[in-house]
Amino acid sequence: MEDKNARAAVLPVSTLTEPLLPGKGEDLEAAQLPSYGGASFSRTCLNLTNAVSGIGVLSMPYAVAQGGWLSLALFALVGAICYYTGTLIERCMRADPAAVASYPDIGAFAFGSAGRRAVAAFMYVELYLVAISFLVLEGDNLDKLFPGATVDLLGYRLQGKQLFIALAASVVLPTTWLKNLGVLAYVSAVGLVSSAVLTVSLVWAGLAGTGFHRNSTSVLNLSGLPTSLGLYFVCFTGHAVFPTIYSSMRNNKHFSKVLLISSVLCSVNYGLTAMLGYMIYGDDVQSQVTLNLPSGKLYTKVAILMTLINPLAKYALLAAPITAAIEEKFSVPSGSGPARVAISTVVVVSTAVVASTVPFFGYLMSFIGSFLSVMATVIFPSLCFLKIYKAKGIRRIEIAAITGILIIGVFVAVTGTYTSVRQIIGTF
C-alpha cells in the first residue's frame, strides 16, 4: 500500500528532463528499449520528420485557398498544438518506463484495459488505412503516367491501377522487414529529400510558368475555414508512431528536442509549399497542387516523381507498430526474423488487396481519417495526460490549455466527419 501511495505522490511532479522513477536514469531507459535497437539523435530526427511530413503537403495550397491568407495563422496554431500534444505523449511514456512502451500502453496506464483497447483500436485502424491510402495514391498516379499498362503473372492479368498498387507494395515490402529504426533512417532520408524537391519544383513552376502574381486570392474566407483547419491537422498527424520512435532512441531524454526540430522543419516545408502553390495558381488551385502542373514539363515530371517517392519512404514507419502489435499478440520471440518477415508480408499484401478493391476509398479515407487522426493526435494524448498527472501535478494554465485543445479537436472531428459524410452521400 505504501508503494502505491509513494508512486502516486511522485507522478504529478514529473518533468521532461527527469525520469519518474528516481535513481534509474539512462540505464533504466536503455534497458526498456524494445527490440528495434538504439537510433542516434540524428537518425531519430530523420525518422520523426519523415513520420510527420506526409502527402498532406500536396493539399496545403488548397487549404490556403479555402480559408484565405489569414488561415495560415490557424496553420501555425495547429502546428503548435500538435507539437504540444507530442510532448504530452513523451511525458506519458516517461510516467513508468517499465510499463509504457507503446501508444496502447499509455491508454492502459491511464484508463486500464478499456483505455488500451480504445487507443489500440483507433491507432491501428488509422495506421492501416493511411498505409492503404499510400498504395491508392501510388496506383492512381502511376496509372495516369503509364495508361494501359498490363502484365500477365502466374495466369493472372494485372493492369492499370491494380498493377501499380502491386508494384508499389513489392517495393515497400523489403523496407518493412527492417527491424532497426536506425537503419530505417536512410529510407526516411529519401522521403525527406523528396518533400524538399517537391517544394523546389513548385518554385521552378512559378519561375518558368505563370509566375507568382495571381490576383485571384482572398485574405479571409470564413466558410472555408473548417476545411482549412481539417487539412492542417492532417499535415501533422503521426502521433501514433511517436511512442515507437521514442522507444527506438538510444537516449530518449532528447525526444522533445527531436520533436521540436522535426516540427519546425515540417512547418517550414508545409508553409513554403502553401504560399508558393497559392501564389502561382490562386483560387484555381486543386486539392492536390500537382494536378495544376502542366503536362509534359520537366518540373511536372519531377514533382510527380517526388509525390510517388514520399509514400514509399513512409510506409515502413506506419507498418512498424502494426507488426509489433501482431508479434506481441501471438507472443512471437523478439529475435525471430522469419516470423517478423512473414507478419510484415501479410500486412503489406492485405493493404494492397484492400487498396485494389475498396470502392469510393478516397471519401472513406477522408471520413475515417478526419476522425481517427484527431483522436490520435489531440484527444487521446490530452485525456491520458490529464488522467496520469491529475490533481496537484498540473498547473491551472496547462489544464486550461489542454481543455482548449480538446475543444478544438472535437470541433475538427465533428466538422470533418460531417463534410466527409456529405461527400460520400454525394457519390450515390
pLDDT in tens, 37-60: 477 888 888 778 877 776 678 788
User: Cα 15 vs. chain centroid, distance in angstroms?
Assistant: 26
Most distant pair of Cα atoms in the chain: their distance: 73
pLDDT number for residue 90: 92
Percent pLDDT > 90 in the chain is 18
Q: What is the CA radius of gyration of the chain?
A: 22
Residue 16 lies in a domain: no
Residue 183 lies in a domain: yes
pLDDT number for residue 336: 66
User: Which tens digits make up the pLDDT trace of 15-36?
Assistant: 333 333 333 333 333 333 333 4
User: Which tens digits make up the pLDDT trace of 110-142?
Assistant: 999 999 999 988 888 888 888 888 888 788 778
pLDDT number for residue 397: 92
Residue 43 lies in a domain: yes
Q: pTM here?
A: 0.75
Residue 114 domain boundaries:
39-426
> 514539363: which residue's cell?
297
Instruction: Note whether 36 and 179 are within 8 A (CB).
Output: yes
Residue 359 lies in a domain: yes
User: Which tens digits make up the pLDDT trace of 233-247?
Assistant: 878 878 888 888 888
Domains of the chain: total: 1
Residue 29 lies in a domain: no
358: buried, middle or exposed (CB in 10 Å: 19+, 13-18, 0-12)? Answer: middle
User: Which tens digits make up the pLDDT trace of 157-209?
Assistant: 777 788 888 888 998 888 888 766 566 667 667 777 887 888 888 788 777 77
Write the CA distances from 261 to 64, 71, 280, 391, integer angstroms: 24, 23, 29, 31
Residue 202 lies in a domain: yes
Residue 17 lies in a domain: no
Give CA–CA dist 179/41, Å, rounded.
18
30 C-beta neighbours (distance < 10 Å), count: 14
CATH, residue 308? 1.20.1740.10
User: Grid coordinates in use for 44?
Assistant: 531519430
Residue 32 lies in a domain: no
User: Grid coordinates in use for 424?
Assistant: 460520400
User: Which tens digits make up the pLDDT trace of 335-370?
Assistant: 567 888 889 999 999 999 988 887 655 566 667 667
User: Which tens digits make up the pLDDT trace of 94-118?
Assistant: 888 888 888 899 999 999 999 999 9
CA atoms within 13 A on the CB side of 113: 0
- State the Cα angle at 121 between 391 and 232, rounded to 5°: 75
Close Cβ partners of 330 (under 8 Å, ≥ 6 residues apart): none
